[in-house]
């Protein structure tokens, strides 16, 4: 087996070929990747069966096990996601700004691929295809380092996708699955700062910390979502209740689910009891501060840990605040820069919330569950960045490119006295 | 003295105040910073005299010593640079994209400040004012860690600037000079990943390596410029000679100066002898490969090190290449992703060069010396990024912000069945 450095160097060389593909070629490639994946469904499901057996033997269960599981419908859905990426606007070569300087120089800002992107993720095999597709559509090479639980599934999916690369004459190293899953190999990968342009860790707190600790390459973290709903004094309470129920219960295991409810004291009495009833009917456990427990006496008391927690479960932390500023201070202290919501009919309160909250996504009178690349118009996403640099919030294909300068002149020099 | 962590936390709190200033307030602040600096010229020059004496006692000389030196004219020029930043477009709050989704959600991308920026630099005291001004104009707090050689000058400049912050009711911690210059303190600063949003190292190779090695916060490197001029077969040779002379001799000590000349073999005989003569008349030492030495026999032979070198001096490496592809391969191998120039009248050669070269700035028939924020229309620059992420090439105020999502609805939920 090649070393991880050799593997990464091969990916970098292959990435130059991908960078030179035009939109038509990339779209055709992605569609053929989808077809190849479907054609190899049997092999993929066979590999997945092995992963599932290993995982069950190790005691994995519940949502984890469900994320690992593939079936025919899920393979089709992964393939269709590839086809959707094939239809996205191609960000490469887009001229974002154009200006003629007084000296006649034409200055353009043009998007180019980042180069080589290392995707570090856990047990979801669909990420193998999703991340590969977005990276390739944006003209990059991709190094995929998935979790050991999904290694057989990932290998089978990667093999199918590579068969399409090969058919298109693109070096298969452009899509490079790391099969050596030792931690020290991941560390080595994360330190290849002369080869890898970006590492994107997507997963639990432990993984993110490990990557941040060891990386010498640039990292954009996809960290947890401790998402807040603040119900303002001027909120429409029916609207707020809809946002609360959707945010907490429509899919509690994802990062854009609500974890904490903050309620202005003036509406706490009108809002909290009915909210508690509606949530409890849907199986939600509530934990509250002292003031909220005067309205809902049978709630467990919250701890500081509850406010910092990404429950990913049917649990909600509740707090009554004196005013908007207290809500902002709470979010600044406990938030994870992911997504925060205000329910209010007061435009000045909304504006103040937007101004003071620095999270990647701020929603006014809309559910936190819309914090998603597809829902916000990116077409697809490689994840949701909580790093306030380069891309912040849902990251689509464009976020896998960077603008650079292309300048055209007719012989302009900066110091004309240097002319011969 | 506070610990560096306390200092950074104070800067983060102060940055929230800066983030909330409107454009008018920021412009007035920057103008008053300029006035305060001029008013305190005597104190600044006095401090600089101490730095100069220390530096000379330590044996510093030449360009290094010149970069450290301040006089009345230079203080005025630093103050005027602050006034220029005060006139820049304010990037904060700019809506870069706006879309209404099919479900009626209004999705905006809006620029917000990054937060806290740590600037790590060497002996040029003007960076203290320049970096502070751009960071503040973009709504950020700034932590300035300059070189020990300039500590008295930097402290005096920072004191002047802070007096203006104070007069405007902005916490002075928004502009925070690190006075504890121990290496371990810099390491601690670079690892404050919960406080510092971006570190920008600007300086020599040793500094950049040190920062990259120790940082746990995001880093955008401002690395060396090994800039190339490729004279194509289809070049206008007079034009090419002008670019060569301007690029190499107009200011050899800066990062956008040319370091290597690549010449297509078909024009080598016509170009190289006259180029050598013109450069030598201007004091340039030439080092060439075997083929170029057949045309200019009295050149020293180049080593691999010469091609990788940022001479920052009147030295030029020369190589004859067989074709455009060889020129591209040379640049890919030895370049530093900074700035490359092609001289050609052949549009397809120019396009191929632009496509294949991934450097931050690519020039067609224009001098490398235009690779500068002011020259390319940014108004001012905090430096030139050679990191292919977030900002690539000259970085102005806009590059010190990031886009995030602001979403407005009327109660939209993702799963309407969760409505009460």
Closest CA to B312 of B257, B259, B253: B253
Q: Smallest Cβ distance to B409: which of A364, A393, A406?
A: A364
3 state SS of A97: strand
Q: What is the pLDDT of residue B418?
A: 53
Pick left, alpha or beta for residue A283 (phi over 0 → left; psi -120 to 50 → alpha; otherwise beta).
left
Question: Cα angle at B83 between B82 and B87, to 5 degrees?
Answer: 115
The CA distance from B394 to B384, in Å, is 4
Residue A236 near residue B403, CB atoms below 8 Å: no
Terminal Cα-to-Cα distance of chain B (whole angstroms)? 57
Residue of B114, B358, B366 with shortest CB distance to A412: B366
Q: What per-residue confidence (pLDDT) applies to B1?
A: 56
For chains A and B, count residue pairs whose Cβ atoms are closer than 8 Å: 240
Q: Are A383 and A395 in contact (CB under 8 A)?
A: yes
The b-or-e profile of B110-122 (16+ CB within 10 A means b, else e) is bbbbbbbbbbbbb
**Considering only residues 283 to 322 of chain B, which have any Cβ-Cβ distance to chain A shorter than 8 Å?**
none
| Rounded Cα distance, B298 and B275, in Å | 14
In angstroms, the Cα distances linking A370 to A166, A262, A332 are 37, 19, 21
Which residues in chain A land under pLDDT 70? 1, 417-420
Residues 61-100 of A with CB under 8 A from B: 99
Determine the Cα–Cα distance for residues A19 and A112; give it in Å rounded to an integer. Answer: 8
Phi/psi for A98 (5° steps) reads -145, 130
Q: Do B245 and A419 touch (CB under 8 A)?
A: yes
pLDDT at B379: 87
* Chain B: closest CA distance from residue A44 (Å): 31
CATH number corresponding to B227-370: 3.40.309.10
CA distance B160 to A277: 60
Closest CA to A108 of A418, A410, A404, A414: A404
Per-residue pLDDT, A419:
55
Q: Which residue of B has its CA nearest to A20?
A: B355
Express each pLDDT in A146-182 by its tens digit: 999 999 999 999 999 999 999 999 999 999 999 999 9
A375 chain-B contacts, CB cut-off 8 A: 101, 105, 414
pLDDT score, position A305 = 94
So what's the pLDDT on residue B366? 98
Task: Give yes or no for A216 touching B (CB within 8 A).
Answer: yes
Domain definitions of chain A by residue range:
4-220+390-406, 227-370
Q: What is the ipTM metric for this complex?
A: 0.95
Phi, psi of A138 (to 5 degrees): -90, 15
CATH code for the structural domain at A4-220+390-406: 3.40.605.10
**Chain B residues closer than 8 Å to A16 by CB:** 356
- The reply to whether B355 touches chain A by the CB within 8 Å rule is yes
Cβ-based contacts of A402 with chain B (< 8 Å): 388-392
B380 is written with which tokens?
Answer: 């001012």
- To the nearest whole angstrom, how far is the Cα of B50 from the nearest Cα of chain A? 34
Q: Which residues of chain B fall short of a pLDDT of 50?
A: none
Buried b / exposed e along B178-217 (16+ C-beta atoms within 10 A): beeeeeebbbbbbbbeebbbbbbbbbeeebbebbbebbbb
Q: What is the pLDDT of residues B33-59, one digit of tens each?
A: 999 999 999 999 999 999 999 999 999
- The pTM for the full model equals 0.95
H or E stretch at A248: helix A237-249
User: CB–CB of B141/B18 below 8 Å?
Assistant: yes
């Amino acid at each position: 087996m090649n070393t991880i450095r050799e593997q990464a160097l091969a990916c970098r060389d292959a990435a130059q070929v991908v960078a030179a593909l035009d939109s038509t070629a990339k779209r055709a490639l992605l569609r053929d990747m989808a077809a190849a994946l479907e054609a190899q469904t049997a092999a993929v499901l066979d590999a997945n069966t092995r992963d599932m057996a290993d995982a069950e033997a190790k005691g994995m269960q519940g949502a984890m096990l469900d994320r690992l599981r593939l079936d025919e419908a899920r393979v089709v859905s992964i393939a269709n996601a590839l086809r959707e990426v094939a239809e996205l606007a191609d960000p490469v070569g887009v001229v974002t700004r154009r200006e003629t300087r007084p000296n006649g120089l034409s200055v353009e800002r043009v998007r180019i691929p980042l180069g080589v992107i290392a995707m570090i993720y856990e047990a979801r095999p669909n990420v193998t295809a999703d991340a590969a597709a977005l990276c390739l559509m944006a003209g990059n090479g991709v190094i995929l380092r998935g979790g050991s639980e999904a290694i057989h599934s990932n290998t089978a999916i990667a093999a199918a996708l590579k068969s399409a690369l090969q058919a298109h004459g693109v070096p298969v190293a452009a899509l490079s699955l790391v099969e050596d899953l030792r931690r020290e190999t991941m560390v080595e990968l994360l330190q290849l700062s002369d080869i890898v342009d970006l590492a994107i860790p997507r997963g639990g707190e432990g993984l993110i910390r490990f990557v941040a600790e060891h990386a010498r390459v640039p990292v954009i973290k996809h960290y947890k979502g401790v998402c807040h709903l603040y119900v303002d004094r001027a909120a429409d309470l029916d609207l707020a209740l809809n946002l609360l129920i959707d945010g907490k219960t429509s899919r509690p295991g994802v990062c854009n689910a609500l974890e904490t409810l903050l309620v202005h004291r003036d509406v706490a009495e009108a809002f909290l009891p009915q909210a508690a009833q509606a949530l409890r009917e849907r199986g939600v456990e509530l934990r509250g501060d002292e003031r909220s427990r005067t309205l809902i006496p049978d709630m467990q008391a919250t701890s500081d840990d509850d406010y910092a927690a990404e429950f990913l479960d049917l649990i909600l932390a509740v707090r009554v605040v004196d005013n908007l500023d207290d809500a902002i201070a709470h979010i600044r202290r406990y938030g994870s820069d992911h997504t925060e919501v205000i329910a209010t009919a007061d435009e000045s309160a909304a504006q103040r919330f937007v101004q003071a909250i620095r999270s990647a996504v701020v929603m006014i009178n809309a559910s936190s569950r819309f914090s998603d690349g597809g829902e916000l118009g990116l077409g697809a996403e490689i994840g949701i960045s909580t790093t306030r640099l380069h891309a912040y919030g849902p990251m689509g294909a464009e976020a896998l490119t960077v603008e650079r300068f292309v300048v055209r002149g007719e012989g302009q020099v900066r110091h004309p006295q240097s002319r011969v």
